A = this chain, B = another copy of it.
Amino acid sequence: MPWKKVNPAKIHRLFYPQVPVVITAWFKGRIGGMPAIWHTPLSFKPPLVGVAIAPEHRTHEMIIGAKAFGVNWLDFSYAKQVGELGDASGKDYINKLSAVGFRTVKGRASGQPLIAEASAVLECLYSERHRVGTHELIVGRVVAARADAGFNDYWDHARYSPLLYAGTENRRGKSWVFKSLRGKTVTVPLRNQPGTKESNE
């Protein structure tokens, strides 16, 4: 205290900074992916994770169609690619991941695409979904989890610098803002200016 009222449309920003994960899926010959910050682990055993996605996203349709999805953690050095992925629409690309410069590998446990540059990946099988207001919480059961040398029981922050989403800023056009644990800030210009629709900005 003292506190002042927060605009109800901006409540989600109180949760920032949040580590974005890239949700990936293969469906009907297309590879899709989107950064998501509305996610959380949900269970230890079985290992279940949840991601809340607006049903109008192409990736939502692909996950439901594929009945599986990948979860990818990218190091801070990939801020630009993650931002561009958030700015692009899946309907424009056969492989949206390669369109922003990522290489994809096929996960053996799920058949879903994973990002080769990722520091860690999960392969999830679709488990259940719950409509909650504007979004749908999709729950996945983790059937494979892998990480590079940056993770060893815990993340080793000397080897892995987490990417933290902190919102947008508007200086000569709108940009995503990403922070690191080391005091760095990177801004990634939005080309498609989603400001007219509701988005996690």
Contacts and interface: CB of A to CB of B under 8 A. Distances in A.
B8 A145 contact: yes
A10 interface: yes
A179 B180 CA distance: 11
B134 A44 contact: yes
B41 A38 contact: yes
A8 to B, nearest CB: 5
Contact of A5 (B6, B134, B146): B146
**Residue with the greatest number of chain B CB neighbours at <10 A, chosen from A5, A39, A147, A167:** A147
25 contacts: A3-B146, A5-B145, A5-B146, A6-B145, A6-B147, A9-B45, A11-B41, A11-B142, A14-B147, A14-B151, A15-B41, A16-B19, A16-B162, A38-B40, A40-B50, A42-B135, A43-B132, A44-B134, A45-B198, A50-B50, A130-B130, A130-B137, A137-B137, A155-B167, A182-B183
A85 interface: no
Interface in A126-146: 128, 130, 132-135, 137, 139, 142, 144-146
Interface of A: 1-6, 8-19, 21, 38-50, 52, 73, 105, 116, 120-122, 128, 130, 132-135, 137, 139, 142, 144-149, 151, 153-155, 157, 162, 164, 166-168, 179-183, 198
A145 B11 CA distance: 7
> How many copies of the chain does the oligomer comprise?
2
Given A16-B154, A19-B18, A2 B148 contact: yes
B13 A154 contact: yes
A36 to B, nearest CB: 9
A176 to B, nearest CB: 12
B132 A50 contact: yes
A10 B47 CA distance: 9
B154 A3 contact: no
A105 B155 contact: no
Given A16-B154, A105-B1, A148-B1, A42 B8 contact: no
